[in-house]
Amino acid sequence: MARYAPSIGRLITELAKLPGIGGKSAQRLAFHLLGQPEDQVSALANAILDARKTIRLCSVCCNLTDQDPCEICASPARDHTTICVVENPRDVASIERMHEYKGLYHVLHGAISPMQGVGPDQIRLRELLARLRQDDSVHEVILATNPTVEGEATALYLARLLKPAGILTTRIAHGIPMGGDLEYADEVTLARAMEGRREIG
């Protein structure tokens, strides 16, 4: 370990904890930040703190939000009879980017993965079931989990849970090839996948 002043060492250690940042990049970022004017650095630090303090999970859809319910859940312009279930907030952003889908979302914050020891209880699945129990205006649940082993398993598991409740349950079409992340699908592919969804379960 190089001989840095302790506060620089601490900054590097913290930066290196971020995903995709190794020791070298952490050093580069640390020295970049230290080279900036103080007000710039405070702006960054405050943005991080503010976001952390104000962002929480929407009590309806579990998406990240700074108002509760979130903007989408609160909007009367959205179709409240359709819920699109996705793995994470980035997927909501991907679907919103195509400006086609008008319904609501539910963010699971993960997928069932026996390989990683993630069971149905460790994702926001119970919240979805409670939501459907309370709100009988929902006609369709679109399962837009990733077309991966974990995403498929989660979709089928959910479909089997929802079927007896008489809710139309559909799966996005494999316009997106199996195995990929929804995040990397382009807008055209994603729109086609939504249009071509079929009933499953």
Question: Which residues of the chain form contacts with another protein (CB under 8 A)?
Answer: 20, 112, 114-115, 117, 119-121, 129, 132-133, 148-149, 152-153, 156-157, 161-162, 164-166, 176-181, 184-185, 189
Tell me whether residue 83 or residue 176 sits nearer to another protein (CB atom).
176
Q: Is residue 138 a contact point for Zn ion (CB under 5 A)? A: no
∠ CA(95), CA(99), CA(105), 5° rounding?
A: 45
User: From Zn ion, another protein, none, which one binds at residue 179 (CB under 5 to 8 Å depending on kind)?
Assistant: another protein
- The correct pick among 58, 86, 108, 111 for binding Zn ion (CB under 5 A) is 58
User: From Zn ion, another protein, none, which one binds at residue 84 (CB under 5 to 8 Å depending on kind)?
Assistant: none
Residue 117 has φ and ψ, to the nearest 5°, of 70, 20
Rounded to the nearest 10 degrees, what angle do helices 187-195 and 89-97 cross at? Answer: 90
Tell me whether residue 15 or residue 142 sits nearer to Zn ion (CB atom).
142
Tell me whether residue 12 or residue 70 sits nearer to Zn ion (CB atom).
70
User: From another protein, Zn ion, none, which one binds at residue 133 (CB under 5 to 8 Å depending on kind)?
Assistant: another protein
CB contact at 8 A, 167 and 132: yes
Question: Which contacts of 129-136 are long-range, i.e. CB under 8 A and separated by 24 or more positions?
Answer: 129/161, 131/60, 131/61, 131/83, 131/106, 132/83, 132/162, 132/165, 132/167
Question: What CA–CA distances, in Å, run from 114 to 41, 124, 150, 163?
Answer: 42, 16, 8, 23
- The correct pick among 70, 108, 138, 194 for binding Zn ion (CB under 5 A) is 70
CB of residue 22 to another protein, shortest distance in Å: 10
- Which two structure tokens, joined as six digits, stand for 166? 């008489």
CB of residue 180 to another protein, shortest distance in Å: 3
- The correct pick among 26, 30, 60, 84 for binding Zn ion (CB under 5 A) is 60
CB of residue 43 to another protein, shortest distance in Å: 27
Other CB atoms within 10 Å distance of the CB of residue 194: 19
Q: How many helices (H) and strands (E) does the chain have?
A: 8, 7
Q: Is residue 61 a contact point for Zn ion (CB under 5 A)? A: yes
